[in-house]
Amino acid sequence: MHPAEDFFSLFSLPRSFAVDKPALTANFRALQAASHPDKVAAGDEAAKLAAVQRSSLLNDAFATLKSPLARAGYLLRLAGIDVEAVSQSDLDPAVLFEQMQLRESVAEAPAGEDGLAPLAALKQEIGARIEVREAAFVAALEAEEFSATKRVFHELQFLYKLFQEIEASEEQRLGY
């Protein structure tokens, strides 16, 4: 990838949190087909290595842009924000307290199938909170309010993790 090229331009998409998923998938498949390592199987080692590296880059770029949370982190990194470095100002104590309460709700759901309905309701609530926080992320990003954008990103991390924990708890109750 050329230094000026980012994952969005790689797939001919605008740099935005909202992504045209069908276009992303179509462009990924076309690029993957055009540069698949099997196309240079008879080539020299340098060509094979370049094809494997290109394929790996395409896979990483696709996974990043396909996931809303990974895409949000990537957009922050493109803006020069270190999403890995977390300070107290990046975390709202009220949000942390809320997360603890929500996790307790998951833990307190009845065992077995009796817990499915409360978990489904909680999952729906978390999904709605994710939508609200994603909209706040976009607004802060567009306004170039990067400290707020980073704070919302960390809130989204908590919410997505909780959503996954609820799904895992549901699967466990269903015996998957």
- Looking at the 3D structure of the chain, how many domains does it have? 2
The two three-digit tokens of residue 135, written as one number = 């909209």
| Cα three-residue angle 131-129-11, rounded to 5 degrees | 30
CATH of the domain at 24: 1.10.287.110
- Structural domain including 117 reads 88-174
Is 56 in the same domain as 98? Answer: no
State pTM to two decimals: 0.86
Tokens of 115: 């817990």
Instruction: State pLDDT tens for residues 35-82.
Output: 877 777 777 888 788 888 888 999 999 999 999 999 999 999 999 999
Tell me, yes or no, whether 54 and 92 share the same domain.
no
pLDDT, tens digit (0-9, with 9 covering 90-100), for 6-17: 999 999 999 999
Whole-number pLDDT of residue 87: 76
